[in-house]
């Protein structure tokens, strides 16, 4: 597909995302004269960009995007031939054999489900489908009924997801559905990082639809500076700036995908306990970690937990930091970020927790 045809297929808001990625990367680039290579494709229902600063080798990008397409083909719930679709289609019928990478991602998903006591749950697929919050139709004239929500909740239980020997997976109840949308981009970012490092890349920015991984530093030896999205303003507006190197940054918020019903906002992160979209004091959460698969799962988990329980949860984990932005425009940091984050807008207040 040529570039112009590909661009026509994108939704208008995704064209804006491409522009904002370009702005972000320009702001992070080592210097105005630094050469780089980059590629952008639409995969996993989002815009993905990889920019390499220190290697002018297009074959590396070929390897990266071949791997990204492979991950999508195995783990998308909307591709009929994927491992995930095969698992869902055989729920309550029989175990299915999946690729080792799909099995690994499911192991990580179930680990975080257990660790969070179900606040994060990969079997939330039926509820996700029921609410169908894509961000396309901002105003709606109805929401699912209580009966529909309660029926869907009976099919959400990570304990009913069995990970058996020889990469076999079984959903024990008919009608259950897994979704890996809240973890697969993190795994994909880690895979891109692996490929880049194997090819001796030491300076790069990976942006998989907002899942960032920063490799190395600028040519002058300083760390990259990343803008953390202001939840109250258009994309590209920053609540603060994070200085970082060799880390993943994953952000979730109630401003990403949502709809309005009778004046109330319903965001895309589902509370597995109530069956409704999460509604608490948090409007944005950013997780900084070594592995993006952890940051991806944790961003959903901690958003659902809220400020108090979320902060306690993060502090119980090694090597994980977080930025909390609340609806009253307060920003809370975990201790490891106190000298790495600067508030960018006067309307925000940095508070101690």
Write down the domain spans for the chain.
16-73+186-351, 79-171
Instruction: Share the mean pLDDT of the chain.
Output: 90
Say yes or no to pLDDT of 19 above 60.
no
CA distances, 111 to each of 107, 124, 168 (Å): 6, 15, 17
pLDDT in tens, 54-76: 989 999 999 999 999 999 999 99
Classify residue 225 as exposed, middle or buried by CB count within 10 Å of its CB (0-12, 13-18, 19+). middle
Instruction: For residue 121, give the nearest of 51, 75, 183, 207 by alpha carbon.
Output: 183
Predicted confidence band of residue 34 (pLDDT cuts 50, 70, 90): low
Dig out the tokens for 77 from the structure. Answer: 């719930």
Report the pLDDT value the prediction gives residue 216, as an integer from 0 to 100: 96
Instruction: For residue 268, give the nearest of 178, 181, 184 by alpha carbon.
Output: 181
| Top-confidence residue, 235 or 113 | 113
Q: State whether the Cα torsion 96-69-64-256 is positive or negative.
A: negative
Say yes or no to pLDDT of 24 above 50.
no
Predicted confidence band of residue 2 (pLDDT cuts 50, 70, 90): very low
Instruction: For residue 131, give the nearest of 270, 333, 332 by alpha carbon.
Output: 270
Q: For residue 292, report the phi and psi dihedrals to the nearest 5 degrees.
A: -70, -25
| Top-confidence residue, 222 or 173 | 173
CATH fold, domain 16-73+186-351, is T-fold (3.10.520)
Q: What is the b/e burial string over 86-103, where b = at least 16 CB atoms within 10 angstroms of the residue's CB? A: bbbeebeeebbebbebbb
Q: For residue 72, report the phi and psi dihedrals to the nearest 5 degrees.
A: -60, -45
For the chain, what percent of residues have pLDDT higher than 70?
90
Instruction: For residue 40, give the nearest of 76, 79, 75, 7 by alpha carbon.
Output: 7
User: Which CATH code for domain 79-171?
Assistant: 1.10.3980.10
Report the pLDDT value the prediction gives residue 337, as an integer from 0 to 100: 95
Where is average pLDDT lowest: 23-37, 81-95, 261-275? 23-37
Partners of residue 287 on adjacent β-strands: 250, 322
Report the pLDDT value the prediction gives residue 35, as an integer from 0 to 100: 82
pLDDT in tens, 286-313: 999 999 999 999 999 999 999 999 999 9
Sequential DSSP letters for 264-293: EEEES-B-TTTSSBP-SSEEEEEEEESSHH
Predicted confidence band of residue 12 (pLDDT cuts 50, 70, 90): very low
Report the pLDDT value the prediction gives residue 7, as an integer from 0 to 100: 39
Report the pLDDT value the prediction gives residue 345, as an integer from 0 to 100: 75
CA distances, 220 to each of 31, 243, 244, 261 (Å): 8, 14, 14, 50
Where is average pLDDT lowest: 25-34, 35-44, 173-182? 25-34
pLDDT in tens, 186-241: 999 999 999 999 999 999 999 999 899 999 998 888 899 999 999 999 888 899 99
CB 163 within 8 A of CB 110: yes
- Measured between alpha carbons, how far is 147 from 137 in angstroms, rounded to an integer? 23
Report the pLDDT value the prediction gives residue 14, as an integer from 0 to 100: 41
Mean pLDDT across 102-114:
98
Dig out the tokens for 155 from the structure. Answer: 């099919």
Report the pLDDT value the prediction gives residue 136, as an integer from 0 to 100: 81
Residues in the chain: 353
CB atoms within 10 A of CB 174: 10
Report the pLDDT value the prediction gives residue 218, as an integer from 0 to 100: 86
- Kindly report the pTM of this predicted structure: 0.90
């Amino acid at each position: 597909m040529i570039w112009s045809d590909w661009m026509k297929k994108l939704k208008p808001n995704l064209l804006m995302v491409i522009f904002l990625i370009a702005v972000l990367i320009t702001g992070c680039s080592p210097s105005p004269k630094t050469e780089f290579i980059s590629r952008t494709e639409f995969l996993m229902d989002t815009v993905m960009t990889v920019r390499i600063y220190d290697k002018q080798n297009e074959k590396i990008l070929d390897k990266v995007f071949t791997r990204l397409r492979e991950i999508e083909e195995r783990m998308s719930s909307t591709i009929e031939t994927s491992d995930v679709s095969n698992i869902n289609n055989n729920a309550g019928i029989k175990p299915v054999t999946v690729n080792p990478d799909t099995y690994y991602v499911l192991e990580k998903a179930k680990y975080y489900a257990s660790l969070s006591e179900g606040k994060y749950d990969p079997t939330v697929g039926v509820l996700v489908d029921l609410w169908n919050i894509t961000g396309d139709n901002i105003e709606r004239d109805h929401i699912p009924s209580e009966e529909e929500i309660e029926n869907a909740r009976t099919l959400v239980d990570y304990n009913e997801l069995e990970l058996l020997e020889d990469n076999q997976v079984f959903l024990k109840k008919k009608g259950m559905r897994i979704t890996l949308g809240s973890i697969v981009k993190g795994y994909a970012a880690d895979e891109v990082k692996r490929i880049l490092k194997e090819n001796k890349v030491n300076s790069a920015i990976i942006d998989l639809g907002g899942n960032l991984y920063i490799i190395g530093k600028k040519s002058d030896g300083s760390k990259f500076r990343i803008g953390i999205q202001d939840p109250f303003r258009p994309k590209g507006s920053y609540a603060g700036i994070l200085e970082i190197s060799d880390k993943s940054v994953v952000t979730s918020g109630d401003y990403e995908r949502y709809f309005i019903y009778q004046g109330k906002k319903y965001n895309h992160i589902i509370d597995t306990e109530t069956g409704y979209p999460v509604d608490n004091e948090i409007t944005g959460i950013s997780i900084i970690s070594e592995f993006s698969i952890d940051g991806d799962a944790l961003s959903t988990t901690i958003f659902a937990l809220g400020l108090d329980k979320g902060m306690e949860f993060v502090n119980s984990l090694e090597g994980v930091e977080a930025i909390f932005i609340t609806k009253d425009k307060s920003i809370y940091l975990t201790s490891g970020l106190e000298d790495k984050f600067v508030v960018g807008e006067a309307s925000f207040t940095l508070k101690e927790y």
